[in-house]
Amino acid sequence: MIRRILIANRGEIAVRIIRTAQALGIETVLAVSKADRESLGARMADRALCIGPARPSESYLRVETIVQAALGAGCDAIHPGYGFLSERAALAQMCEDEGVIFIGPTAAQIEAVGDKLRARAEAIAADVPVVPGGPVESPAEAQTLAAQIGAPLLIKAVGGGGGRGMKLVERLEDLAATMDMASAEAGAAFGDARVYLERYVAQGRHVEVQVLGDGRGTVIHLGERDCSVQRRYQKLVEETPAPHLPEAIRAQMHEAAVRFAARLDYRGAGTVEFLYDVARNQFYFLEMNARIQVEHPVTEMVTGVDLVAEQIAIANGEGLRLKQADVRIDGAAIEARINAEDPARDFMPSPGTVAAARWPEGDGIRVDTHIVDGASIPPFYDSMIAKVIAHGPDRDAALSRLKGALGETRIEGVSTNLAFQADILADPDFAHGGVDTGFLARRAER
| Residues belonging to the active site | 291
Please give, one letter per residue, the 3-state secondary structure of 329-360: CCCEEEEEEEECEEHHHCCEECCEECCEEECC
Nearer Cβ to other proteins, position 79 or 206? 79
Interaction of residue 3 with other proteins, rule CB under 8 A: yes
Piece in contact with other proteins (CB under 8 A), picked from 60-68, 102-110, 183-191, 290-298: 60-68
Q: CB of 91: closest distance to other proteins in angstroms?
A: 12
Q: CB of 315: closest distance to other proteins in angstroms?
A: 15
Interaction of residue 44 with other proteins, rule CB under 8 A: no
Interaction of residue 53 with other proteins, rule CB under 8 A: yes
Interaction of residue 26 with other proteins, rule CB under 8 A: yes
Interaction of residue 69 with other proteins, rule CB under 8 A: yes
Interaction of residue 43 with other proteins, rule CB under 8 A: no
Given a contact cutoff of 8 angstroms between Cβ atoms, the answer to whether 329 and 223 are in contact is yes
Site for other proteins in 129-148 (CB under 8 A): none
Q: CB of 51: closest distance to other proteins in angstroms?
A: 5
Interaction of residue 52 with other proteins, rule CB under 8 A: yes
Query: Of 13, 18, 75, 305, which one interacts with other proteins (CB under 8 A)?
Result: 75
Query: Within 13 A of 123's CA, how many CA atoms are on the CB side?
Result: 26
Piece in contact with other proteins (CB under 8 A), picked from 65-73, 241-249, 408-416, 427-435: 65-73
Q: Is 269 helix (H, G, I), strand (E, B) or coil?
A: strand
How many Å separate Cα 87 from the centre of its chain? Answer: 11
Give the C-alpha separation, 419 to 302, whole Å. 26
How many Å separate Cα 57 from the centre of its chain? Answer: 21
Given a contact cutoff of 8 angstroms between Cβ atoms, the answer to whether 39 and 378 are in contact is no
Nearer Cβ to other proteins, position 68 or 400? 68
Count of residues in contact with other proteins, rule CB under 8 A? 28
| Phi and psi based region of residue 146 (left: phi greater than 0; alpha: psi -120 to 50; beta: remaining) | alpha
Query: Within 13 A of 267's CA, how many CA atoms are on the CB side?
Result: 21
Give the dihedral sign, CA 341/402/41/28. negative
Give the C-alpha separation, 432 to 411, whole Å. 29
Give the C-alpha separation, 310 to 34, whole Å. 31
Nearer Cβ to other proteins, position 70 or 414? 70
Give the C-alpha separation, 404 to 215, whole Å. 41
Nearer Cβ to other proteins, position 72 or 162? 72
Query: Of 19, 43, 44, 50, which one interacts with other proteins (CB under 8 A)?
Result: 50
Nearer Cβ to other proteins, position 65 or 218? 65
Piece in contact with other proteins (CB under 8 A), picked from 20-28, 118-126, 132-140, 153-161: 20-28
Interaction of residue 36 with other proteins, rule CB under 8 A: no
Query: Of 51, 237, 262, 312, which one interacts with other proteins (CB under 8 A)?
Result: 51
Interaction of residue 7 with other proteins, rule CB under 8 A: no
Given a contact cutoff of 8 angstroms between Cβ atoms, the answer to whether 19 and 3 are in contact is no
Interaction of residue 96 with other proteins, rule CB under 8 A: no
Query: Of 36, 76, 224, 368, which one interacts with other proteins (CB under 8 A)?
Result: 76
Q: CB of 59: closest distance to other proteins in angstroms?
A: 7
Q: How far is CA 88 from CA 95, 106, 224, in A?
A: 11, 10, 25
Nearer Cβ to other proteins, position 308 or 389? 308
Q: CB of 215: closest distance to other proteins in angstroms?
A: 24
- 228 DSSP assignment: E
Interaction of residue 103 with other proteins, rule CB under 8 A: no
Interaction of residue 55 with other proteins, rule CB under 8 A: no
Q: Which of 214, 278, 218, 220 minimizes the C-alpha distance to 249?
A: 278
Q: Is 117 helix (H, G, I), strand (E, B) or coil?
A: helix
- 34 DSSP assignment: G
Piece in contact with other proteins (CB under 8 A), picked from 66-74, 247-255, 274-282, 433-441: 66-74
Give the C-alpha separation, 41 to 17, whole Å. 9
Piece in contact with other proteins (CB under 8 A), picked from 91-99, 328-336, 359-367, 390-398: 91-99
Given a contact cutoff of 8 angstroms between Cβ atoms, the answer to whether 163 and 438 are in contact is no
Piece in contact with other proteins (CB under 8 A), picked from 42-50, 166-174, 212-220, 410-418: 42-50
Q: CB of 36: closest distance to other proteins in angstroms?
A: 12
Please give, one letter per residue, the 3-state secondary structure of 383-444: CEEEEEEEEECCHHHHHHHHHHHHHHCEEECCCCCHHHHHHHHHCHHHHHCCCCCCHHHHHH
* Contact positions vs other proteins (CB under 8 A): 3-4, 25-27, 29, 34, 46-47, 49-53, 59, 64-65, 67-69, 72-76, 94, 98-99
